[in-house]
């Protein structure tokens, strides 16, 4: 069956991928971090604290964006929570809180979702981040892609910190 919403989001996602591939990477020392999360990502409060320590940043420098399915009961972390219902029939985001969030600029995006669905991919690409880190996938959506088991948040944080220090984005 033809789904107008999904078809619109697919087109928008492809346009964002194309724009991302053409952008010139200009990264700044990390001051503001956004974490993309979902209920399957294994990111909990203790893991979030570990990520903050690994990057040597305070909790005030982090924002959390969680994408969940309609039936998921997940609210452990503070921040913005979205599901498919934030999109209109034609794939536009209709929630002012999410639009405001997507208009902010971040130095670093940490994507713990593994991009398990089209909506997560679109939201990830819509976040304005100077440097993007995520798991290895079939497309080049990140500036740094890590080949790490998705459930090992601490290793993800350690490897991210190691590489960000090497390229001069962390102290």
Domain count, the chain: 1
- Decide if 171 is inside a domain: no
Six-digit token string for 107: 């130095």
Range of the domain at 160: 4-166
Question: Would you give per-residue pLDDT tens digits along the chain (171 residues)?
Answer: 458 888 888 889 888 888 888 887 777 799 999 999 888 887 888 999 999 999 999 999 999 998 887 666 665 677 888 888 888 888 889 999 999 999 999 999 999 988 778 888 888 899 999 999 999 876 778 899 999 988 899 999 999 999 999 999 998
107-131 burial: b if 16+ Cβ within 10 Å, else e: bbbbbbbbbeebbbbbbbbbbebbb
CA distance 156 to 42: 12
- Decide if 113 is inside a domain: yes
CATH of the domain at 71: 3.40.50
């Amino acid at each position: 069956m033809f789904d107008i919403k999904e078809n619109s989001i697919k087109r928008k996602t492809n346009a964002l991928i194309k724009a991302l591939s053409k952008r010139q990477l200009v990264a700044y020392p990390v001051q503001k971090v956004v974490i993309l999360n979902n209920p399957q990502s294994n990111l909990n409060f203790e893991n979030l604290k570990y990520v903050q320590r690994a990057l040597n940043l305070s909790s005030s420098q982090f924002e959390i964006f969680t994408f969940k399915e309609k039936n998921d009961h997940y609210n452990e972390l503070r921040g913005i929570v979205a599901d498919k219902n934030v999109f209109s029939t034609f794939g536009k985001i209709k929630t002012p809180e999410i639009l405001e969030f997507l208009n902010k600029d971040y130095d670093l995006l940490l994507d713990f979702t593994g991009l398990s669905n089209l909506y997560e991919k679109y939201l990830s690409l819509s976040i304005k981040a100077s440097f993007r880190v995520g798991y290895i996938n079939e497309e080049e959506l990140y500036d740094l892609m890590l080949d790490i088991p998705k459930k090992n948040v601490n290793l993800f944080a350690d490897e991210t910190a190691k590489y960000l220090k090497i390229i001069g984005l962390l102290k």
